[in-house]
Amino acid sequence: MLVAERQQKIVELVNEKTSLRVSELSNIFSVTEETIRRDLEKLEKEKKLRRSHGGAVKIHQSSIEAPYSERKVINVQEKKEIAMEAVKHVVEGDSIILDASTTAYYMAKALPNVPITVVTNSVKVAIELSEKQRITVISTGGILHSRSMSYLGPLAELSLEDYHVNKAFISCKGIHLSRGISESNEQQARIKRKMLDSADINFVMVDHSKFGIQAFSRFAELNLVDHILSDQKLDSGIVQQLSERSMNVIRVET
């Protein structure tokens, strides 16, 4: 069993049983307790579980979305590099969708001032692109969600049904190899599913910390994704498993 696969299964077991001891995990995977401790240390750093005395416990994912100001300072360098890679996949004449993630905001900042159309539910993205006169910006409208600085709700979802774009660029709260792509709340999940459905080609922009996470509301299976853009810290075992599912995984230098 690959290291990445073992660590993924450790997260799944801890989430299922709420807590497990090092000795139990050692027996399950037929490895030493020291190996399990190293696994747990890595997984805790990635915020996929929490170590306890003699074992690990489940992290209870909140359905309350972190404020934009907090998300903006998490893994900043990784997000900027992923955003720069995403820009390389946009060509003149494209119509694209950008969500309200901080990575999408960094992508908006990096987009050249060329004739493209951008549909977005992000206030921050719309403001950033307003300074680029050759880019046509379409806002979804809807109910303003102050924590994420995004438009959500029925009006935002309905407006996306009227558009068809070449490419969608979105982020998410978690990517799980067996349980798909998820968000912290149902409203964000619903609009991101609409975004994926509106595009010919879908890009998911996520740093390594999002893998193995199952957040509150699932909105898509992995087979809806064409390209995953992540950073060099993403485990090679996960890259291999995603590639086996015909997904193009690009790990950018950070």
- Helix 236-243, helix 3-17: angle, nearest 10: 90
**For residues 126 and 139, is the Cβ–Cβ distance under 8 A?**
yes
Q: Please indicate, yes or no, if residue 160 is contained in any of the structural domains.
A: yes
Ramachandran region, residue 212 (left: φ > 0; alpha: ψ -120 to 50; beta: rest): left
Q: Are residues 138 and 44 in the same domain?
A: no
CATH of the domain at 210: 3.40.50.1360
Could you list the pLDDT tens digit for every one of the 254 residues in the chain? 788 889 988 988 888 788 899 999 999 999 999 999 999 999 988 878 888 878 998 876 554 455 554 545 567 889 999 999 999 999 999 999 999 999 999 999 999 999 999 999 999 999 999 999 999 999 999 999 998 899 999 999 999 999 999 999 999 999 988 889 999 899 999 999 999 999 999 999 999 888 888 888 999 999 999 999 999 988 888 899 898 888 899 999 76
Q: Are residues 39 and 145 in the same domain?
A: no
The pLDDT assigned to 153 comes to: 95
> Number of folded domains in the chain?
2
Domain that includes residue 99, residue range: 68-252
Q: Are residues 40 and 150 in the same domain?
A: no
Query: What is residue 208's DSSP assignment?
Result: G
Q: Are residues 83 and 50 in the same domain?
A: no
> How far, in Å, CA of 98 to CA of 64, rounded?
22
pTM for the structure as a whole? 0.75
CATH of the domain at 27: 1.10.10.10
Q: Are residues 90 and 172 in the same domain?
A: yes
Q: Please indicate, yes or no, if residue 62 is contained in any of the structural domains.
A: no
Residue with tokens 């990575």: 103
> How far, in Å, CA of 245 to CA of 176, rounded?
13
Q: Please indicate, yes or no, if residue 63 is contained in any of the structural domains.
A: no
Q: Please indicate, yes or no, if residue 213 is contained in any of the structural domains.
A: yes
The pLDDT assigned to 65 comes to: 54
The pLDDT assigned to 177 comes to: 87
- Collapsing DSSP to helix, strand or coil, 178 comes out as coil
**For residues 234 and 250, is the Cβ–Cβ distance under 8 A?**
no
- Own/partner pairs, 69-76, CB within 8 angstroms, 24+ separation: 71/101, 71/102, 72/102, 72/105, 74/102, 75/207, 75/209, 75/231
> How far, in Å, CA of 113 to CA of 132, rounded?
5
Q: Are residues 10 and 127 in the same domain?
A: no
What number of CA atoms fall less than 13 Å from residue 101's CA on the CB side? 30
**For residues 35 and 27, is the Cβ–Cβ distance under 8 A?**
no
- Collapsing DSSP to helix, strand or coil, 176 comes out as strand
Q: Are residues 14 and 79 in the same domain?
A: no
Token representation of residue 177: 């190899």
Q: Are residues 169 and 111 in the same domain?
A: yes
Q: Are residues 160 and 215 in the same domain?
A: yes
**For residues 202 and 167, is the Cβ–Cβ distance under 8 A?**
yes
SS (H, E, C) 54-107: CEEECCCCCCCCCCHHHHCCCCHHHHHHHHHHHHCCCCCCCEEEECCCHHHHHH
Q: Are residues 104 and 213 in the same domain?
A: yes
